[in-house]
Amino acid sequence: MAGIFKNPSAPQADPAIILQLRSIAVALLSDQLSRSSGSIGLNPYHQPAPLAGTAVTVRTRGGDNLAILRAYDLCRPGDVMVVDAGGDVANALVGGIMTFAAASLGLAGMVLDGAIRDVAEIRERPFPVYARGVSHRGPYKDGPGAINVPVTVGGMVVSPGDIVVGDQDGLVAFAPAMAEAVIAKALAQADKEEATMKAIREGRWDRAFVDGLEARCLN
């Protein structure tokens, strides 16, 4: 039996910031993060619903959920549990019961670089659950594991206390200190995109910019 290494959870992000982020598309946020951040290969398994909250991170052996069970003790309402299981999908880490428990405790969502099960049940709920894949085979509970350490999920590095935002397009994560700047730029881009949509609807979309893009190509 291996124990679980535990660090205290980081301070939670400003609730007003979290509320604002719930209404901003992940694609807009991603564009402000150089389009090179965010998860790859983790899919939403819940009814469409926005996700935003403070990361409580978990690192665990593939297919083992002992550290996840212990991490509930360190999660607060509004937190997002982010689990690095190395992408292993042989055994499910959580299913209907553990995701329902997370929702009942007030978590904002769960992100797992591993497998889940009871997908039909999870799909009926708006509680955000992202995972690498699905397996009917249940989890082990032997450890080892670590809580509130830097993790990698879907190629995205997440540190304890990072803000995690998700929608049907995927997930991004960034430090709380970046939030105001990222939000401001994302909202400005949203206004610009709405102006473009208006121009398209009115038949006056100016595509002259394509000439400049093509001219810079190295052929």
Query: Hey, is 67 helix, strand or coil?
Result: helix
Query: Could you give the CA distance from residue 129 to residue 169 in angstroms, rounded to a whole number?
Result: 13
Query: Could you give the CA distance from residue 75 to residue 106 in angstroms, rounded to a whole number?
Result: 9
Provide the whole-model pTM: 0.95
β-bridge pairing 156-158 and 151-153: antiparallel
Question: Is residue 199 located within the same domain as residue 96?
Answer: no
Give the pLDDT score at 1. 45
Query: Could you give the CA distance from residue 98 to residue 90 in angstroms, rounded to a whole number?
Result: 18
Quote the Cα angle for 24-149-52, to 5°: 15
Question: Is residue 28 located within the same domain as residue 115?
Answer: yes
Range of the domain at 203: 185-215
Question: Is residue 68 located within the same domain as residue 166?
Answer: yes
pLDDT tens per residue across span 38-47: 999 999 999 9
Bond prior to 144 in cis (omega within 30° of 0): yes
CA terminus-to-terminus distance, the chain: 60
Instruction: Tell me the CA distances in angstroms from 154 to 72, 75, 147, 171, 173, one per residue in order.
Output: 22, 22, 18, 9, 11
The torsion defined by the Cα of 39, 127, 137 and 40, in degrees rounded to 10, comes to: -10
Question: Is residue 75 located within the same domain as residue 171?
Answer: yes
Question: Is residue 48 located within the same domain as residue 92?
Answer: yes
Question: Is residue 47 located within the same domain as residue 118?
Answer: yes
Question: Is residue 122 located within the same domain as residue 202?
Answer: no
Q: Is the pLDDT of residue 60 over 90?
A: yes
> Which CATH number does the domain housing residue 62 bear?
3.50.30.40
Question: Is residue 82 located within the same domain as residue 172?
Answer: yes
Question: Is residue 119 located within the same domain as residue 53?
Answer: yes
Query: Could you give the CA distance from residue 98 to residue 81 in angstroms, rounded to a whole number?
Result: 12
% of the chain exceeding 70 in pLDDT: 98
pLDDT tens per residue across span 99-152: 999 999 999 999 999 999 999 999 999 999 999 999 999 999 999 999 999 999
The tokens of 128 are what? 């955000």
According to DSSP, the residues that pair with 81 across neighbouring strands are 56, 110
Q: How many domains does the chain have?
A: 2
Query: Could you give the CA distance from residue 117 to residue 44 in angstroms, rounded to a whole number?
Result: 13
**DSSP 8-state symbol, 177:** G
β-bridge pairing 129-134 and 145-147: unpaired
Question: Is residue 101 located within the same domain as residue 119?
Answer: yes
Residue partners of 14: CB distance under 8 A and separation at least 6: 176, 179
Question: Is residue 87 located within the same domain as residue 25?
Answer: yes
Give the 3-state DSSP-derived string for 68-119, with helices as H, strands as E and coil as C.
HHHHHHHCCCCEEEEEECCCCCCCEEECHHHHHHHHHCCCCEEEEEEEECCH
pLDDT tens per residue across span 167-211: 999 999 999 999 999 999 999 999 999 999 999 999 999 999 898
Question: Is residue 146 located within the same domain as residue 201?
Answer: no
